[in-house]
Chains A and B, each alone.
Chain A
Amino acid sequence: MTFRWTFAASLLGSVALISVPAGAATPPDVLVVAQSIDDAVSFDPAEGYELTPFQTFNNVYQRLIESSEADPTKIVGALAESWDVAADGKSITFKLKPGAAFVSGNPVRPEDVVYSFVRAVKLGKTPVFILQELGWKPDNIEALVTKVDDSHVKVGWAADVGSNFALAILTAPISSVVDGKEVAAHASNGDFGNAWLKTVSAGSGQFKLTRFVPHEALILEANPKSPAGAPKLKSVILKNVADAAARRLLVEQGDADIARELGADQIASLAGKPGITVKETPSAQQDYIIFNSASKSVPALSNPAFWEAARYLVDYDGLANKLLKGQYTIHQTFLPVGFPGAIDDKPFALDPAKAKAILAKAGLTDIKFKLTVSNQPPFTDIAQALQSSFALGGVAIEVEPVVNSELYGKLRSRSYDASALYWFPDYFDANTNASAFAFGTGDDGPHTVAWRAGWNTPDISAKTHSAIVEQDPAKRAVLYANIQKAVEASSPFVFMLQAKEQIVLSNKVKNYVQGITPDQIYYGQVEKK
C-alpha cells in the first residue's frame, strides 16, 4: 500500500515540475528564422549549391556587382564602384570601392577578386558550370582575370558572349569575393581552403557565419565594418525545424520571427491570426514535367502527339488554386515572370477529352510510365495529382518517390521515364533557362536539360545560341519570346507552375525584403520593433 502512495506522489511531483507554461519571446536584437536547413552541406561560395547556402551568401559575402534588390533587371555595384566594358566587348575592368575591408580586417584587394575566381574555377565544384559559360577553364582563368593596379581588376572571357551576359554571370553566388589572405592561410592539400570554408565565412557581407551545426542551426553575427553598412540586428539564427507544422506553431507562438516554406494548408490556418503577416514574393522557381524521349521502355514518350496530349492532362487549376493554394501561379513557358524576355502565355487547361482525341488520332493506346519524383513535399503531392489527372486521359502513371540525389542521378544518366521537378535560374539572364531547356544538339553537345529529355532540336538550339550573342536587349527579348513559344508548343517539357514564396513574419519584423532569385535574401536592413 505504501508503494501506491509513493508512486502516486512521485507521479504528481513530476507532473507539477513539468507543467510550466511554454512560449517565450525572442530577444529584440536577434532574428530567429524557422526553416529547414537539412539541405546544407557547404557554405563555401565556390561549392554551395543548395537553397540554404544560397539564402546565406548575400548576407556574408559580397560580389563585385549584384542585381538590385528593388529591380532585379538593374545591376548595381557592390564591391565594385564602377566598371568599363572594353572596346572589343571581351572584358570588363572594375574599379574597387576604396577602403572596403573583409570581416577579418584585411582590405579588399584586386588579388582577392582574382583569387576568388581562380579558386572557384580550379576547385570545379557543382556550381562551376555557371562560370564555365564565360569559357573559363583551370588553364586560362589566370590569364583572363588579372589585377590591373591596386584598385582595378580586369575580368575577361573566352566564350562568344556579350558583356551584358557576362555581367549577369558575375551576379551569381559563385562570383562572391572571398578574403584571399584568410582563406589561403587555411588551405590544405591544395584545396584553396575549401574544407575550412564549408562551415564558416570569410567575406565582407553584413554578417559573418559563426556557427553551423548540421541539422540544427546556423548562426550569423553582425559585421559592423561591412562595406555594405552595419546591420541593424546583432545576430540571425536560422533554426532547423524540419516539420512545416512545427514551423507554423513556432511563428504563431512568437518563438520564431520568420517561418519559411510552410505548406498551403499551414498558411491557410494562419489566416487572421493576430501578430503575424504572410508576405508573398514572386519566386523564379518553376515546376515542370520532363519526359525522357530517349526511353526505350515507353516509346510513346518520344511522340510529339503525346507531348501535346500531356499538356491537356495537367490539372493546372487544381494544383495552383486548390492542392497548393497560394503557393503557385499557373505558368506555361520556360522563363519565369519577372525575368527579362519572359512571356506570360497560358494556352493549356485540363481537358481529358481533347487529350484522348489527340492520343487516338496518333494511334497511341495503353500508355503507362513511371514518374520519378523527389520524396520531399510538394513533389509527392504533385505526382499523385498528376497520376489522378493523367488517368482521366487513359494514361497510367506509376509514382516512384526517391531521394533527390537518386532523382538527379537518374536524370543525368537518362535512366527514367518521366519526372516532375523544379527548376531555379542560376543567374539573372534569360539564357540560364534557355540554355537548359532550349538547347539540345544530341550526344555530342552539352548535357543540358533538353539532352536529359533526349530532345535533339537543332533549329531551336541555333536560335538559343544566336540570342546569347545579341547585344540589344529589346531584340534579345523578341528572340526569347519566339523560343518560348516554340518550346511551349512542342517539347518533351510541360511547364506547369511558377512558385510564389510565402514567408510568415511576426509583426515585429520590419523592412524584410526578398528578391525573385533564391539568393536574394537580405537580413542587413531588417529591424525588430
Chain B
Amino acid sequence: MSLAATARSRSFAPLLRFARRSPALALGSSIVGLVIVIALVAPLVAPYDPTFQTMSDRLQPSSVAHWLGTDGFGRDILSRLIYGTRPTLLIISLVALIMAPLGIAIGIVAGYYGGIVDRILMRFTDMAMSFPRLILAFAFVAVLGPGLLNAALALAVTSWPPYARQARVETQAMRRSDYMASVEMLGIRGPRLLFGHVLPLVFPLAIVRMALDLAGMVLIAAGLGFLGLGVLPPTAEWGKMVADGTPVIFDQWWVAASPGVAILILSLGFNLMADGLRDIMDPRHG
C-alpha cells in the first residue's frame, strides 16, 4: 500500500465525501444497511413465526397469504428469509470481530518491531495465508460439530493473515514517517504507541478489506449452512434453506430459489461497498 493512499485515508471525512460521489458505495451500503435493519426488526416485519409448521400447507407456491410460498414443513418462506438475516449477520460480525483485531495486532507488532519478531510472525502469516481456508473451515466444523459459534471460529482463524500483512506494510511505512518520529520523541512507546497511535492509522484500510472479505464470508457461511455445518434446526438460515429446497428443486424450485437470491443480494451489497471504497482509495483498481 502506497504512502499516498495511507495519507488519504487518515481520516473518515474524505470517505464520507466520496460516498456521495460513488454510487456503488451508496448502493452497497444501503443494501447492507437495509439487511441490518431487517434483522433488528425481524419480529415486526415478518408475517409469520419462522418456525411455525402447517403440515397441510406444505410446498405452496407464491400466494397472497405466503408471498414467497411455503417450505417442506409449511413454514412461510418470506418470514424465514427475514429471520435468516440474523444468523448470517451474527456469523459474519463474529468473524469480523475476531479476525480483523487478530490480524492487525500481529501485523502491527511485526511491522513495528521488525527483525526476528517480524520474520517469525510473517513466516507464520505466510504459512496460514497459503492454506485453503474454505476447506480448513469445513474440516474444523466437521470435526468439532456444527453450530454458529464453531462456524464463526472456523472462518476467523483461517482469515486473519491478509490483515496482518496489510497492517505490517502500513506500520513499516509509518515507522519511517515524521509523525511517528515526533510521537516517539514525546516518549510514547510500547503498547500505548502501537494501539494509541499506530492502530488508528491502520484501521481505515482494514475496514475496506473487511467489506471485501465480508462478501466472501456471507458466501462461505451460507455454504456451511448448505452442507449442514451451520446453525441447528429449526433456526432459519439462508444456506440451510437452499439445502432444504434441494430435494424438491425440480418441482418446487421456489423453495431453494429465494434464499439463494437473498444470499446473492447481501453478498452483492458488501461487494459494491468494497468496490466503492476501493475506487476511493485507489482509482486505478476500479
Please tell me which one of the listed residues A266, A318, A322 contacts residue B247 in the complex, with CB atoms under 8 A apart.
Answer: A266
A132 to B245, CA, bound (A): 45
Q: Are B252's CB and A399's CB within 8 A?
A: no
Q: Are B249's CB and A322's CB within 8 A?
A: no
Chain A residues lying within 8 Å of B248, measured Cβ to Cβ, are: 245, 263, 265-266, 269
In the complex, which residue of chain A has the Cβ closest to the Cβ of B248? Answer: A265
User: Helix, strand, loop or mixed for chain A's interface?
Assistant: helix
Considering only CB atoms and an 8 Å cut-off, how many residues of chain A contact the other chain? 27
From known contacts A265-B72, A265-B248, infer whether A384 and B234 are also in contact, taking CB-CB under 8 Å. yes
Q: Are A315's CB and B55's CB within 8 A?
A: yes
From known contacts A401-B228, A401-B233, infer whether A385 and B247 are also in contact, taking CB-CB under 8 Å. no
Q: Are B233's CB and A399's CB within 8 A?
A: yes
Interface size class of B (residues with CB under 8 A): 20 to 34
Q: From B145, B146, B248, B249, name the one whose CB has the most chain A CB atoms within 10 angstroms.
A: B248
A265 to B249, CA, bound (A): 10
Residue A151 CB within 8 A of the other chain:
no
Q: State how many angstroms separate the Cβ of A288 from the closest Cβ of chain B.
A: 20
Residues 374-417 of A at the B interface (beta carbon under 8 Å): 375, 377, 380-381, 383-385, 387-388, 398-402
Residue B12 CB within 8 A of the other chain:
no
- Complex interface bits, A313-328 against B, C-beta within 8 A gives 1, otherwise 0: 0010010001100000
A315 to B52, CA, bound (A): 14
In the complex, which residue of chain B has the Cβ closest to the Cβ of A325? Answer: B58
Please tell me which one of the listed residues A243, A375, A377, A385 contacts residue B53 in the complex, with CB atoms under 8 A apart.
Answer: A385
Q: Are B247's CB and A263's CB within 8 A?
A: yes
- Complex interface bits, B247-277 against A, C-beta within 8 A gives 1, otherwise 0: 1111110000000000000000000000000
Residue B232 CB within 8 A of the other chain:
yes
- Complex interface bits, B193-222 against A, C-beta within 8 A gives 1, otherwise 0: 000000000000000000000000000000
In the complex, which residue of chain B has the Cβ closest to the Cβ of A381? Answer: B72
Residue B281 CB within 8 A of the other chain:
no
Q: State how many angstroms separate the Cβ of A433 from the closest Cβ of chain B.
A: 29
Q: State how many angstroms separate the Cβ of A196 from the closest Cβ of chain B.
A: 32
Chain B residues lying within 8 Å of A243, measured Cβ to Cβ, are: 246-247
Chain A residues lying within 8 Å of B246, measured Cβ to Cβ, are: 243, 245
A384 to B248, CA, bound (A): 18
**Interchain Cβ contacts within 8 Å, total number:** 63
Residues 71-101 of B at the A interface (beta carbon under 8 Å): 72-73
Residue B51 CB within 8 A of the other chain:
yes
Q: State how many angstroms separate the Cβ of B251 from the closest Cβ of chain A.
A: 4
Chain A residues lying within 8 Å of B228, measured Cβ to Cβ, are: 375, 401
Residue B59 CB within 8 A of the other chain:
yes
Q: State how many angstroms separate the Cβ of A321 from the closest Cβ of chain B.
A: 9
Q: State how many angstroms separate the Cβ of A403 from the closest Cβ of chain B.
A: 9
Q: Are B233's CB and A380's CB within 8 A?
A: yes
A315 to B251, CA, bound (A): 26
Q: Are B250's CB and A381's CB within 8 A?
A: no
From known contacts A265-B248, A269-B251, infer whether A322 and B56 are also in contact, taking CB-CB under 8 Å. yes
A383 to B248, CA, bound (A): 19
From known contacts A381-B72, A383-B233, A401-B232, infer whether A388 and B250 are also in contact, taking CB-CB under 8 Å. no
Residue A244 CB within 8 A of the other chain:
yes
Residues 21-65 of B at the A interface (beta carbon under 8 Å): 51-53, 55-56, 58-59
Q: Are A388's CB and B51's CB within 8 A?
A: yes
In the complex, which residue of chain B has the Cβ closest to the Cβ of A388? Answer: B53
Please tell me which one of the listed residues A248, A315, A323, A388 contacts residue B58 in the complex, with CB atoms under 8 A apart.
Answer: A323
Please tell me which one of the listed residues A244, A248, A269, A384 contacts residue B73 in the complex, with CB atoms under 8 A apart.
Answer: A384
Residue A249 CB within 8 A of the other chain:
yes
A249 to B251, CA, bound (A): 11
Chain A residues lying within 8 Å of B250, measured Cβ to Cβ, are: 245, 248-249, 269
Q: Are A381's CB and B73's CB within 8 A?
A: yes
Chain A residues lying within 8 Å of B55, measured Cβ to Cβ, are: 315, 318, 322-323, 385
- Complex interface bits, A349-384 against B, C-beta within 8 A gives 1, otherwise 0: 000000000000000000000000001010011011
In the complex, which residue of chain A has the Cβ closest to the Cβ of B255? Answer: A265
Q: Are A384's CB and B53's CB within 8 A?
A: yes
A400 to B232, CA, bound (A): 7
Q: State how many angstroms separate the Cβ of A380 from the closest Cβ of chain B.
A: 6
- Complex interface bits, A222-256 against B, C-beta within 8 A gives 1, otherwise 0: 00000000000000000000011100110000000
| 4 residue pairs, one from A and one from B, having the closest CB atoms | A318-B55, A322-B55, A388-B53, A269-B251
Question: Which residues of A line the B interface, CB within 8 A?
Answer: 243-245, 248-249, 263, 265-266, 269, 315, 318, 322-323, 375, 377, 380-381, 383-385, 387-388, 398-402
5 residue pairs A–B, Cβ–Cβ below 8 Å: A318-B55, A385-B73, A387-B234, A399-B233, A401-B146
**Other contacts beyond A385-B55, A388-B53: 9, CB < 8 A:** A245-B250, A265-B59, A322-B55, A323-B72, A381-B73, A384-B53, A399-B234, A400-B232, A401-B146
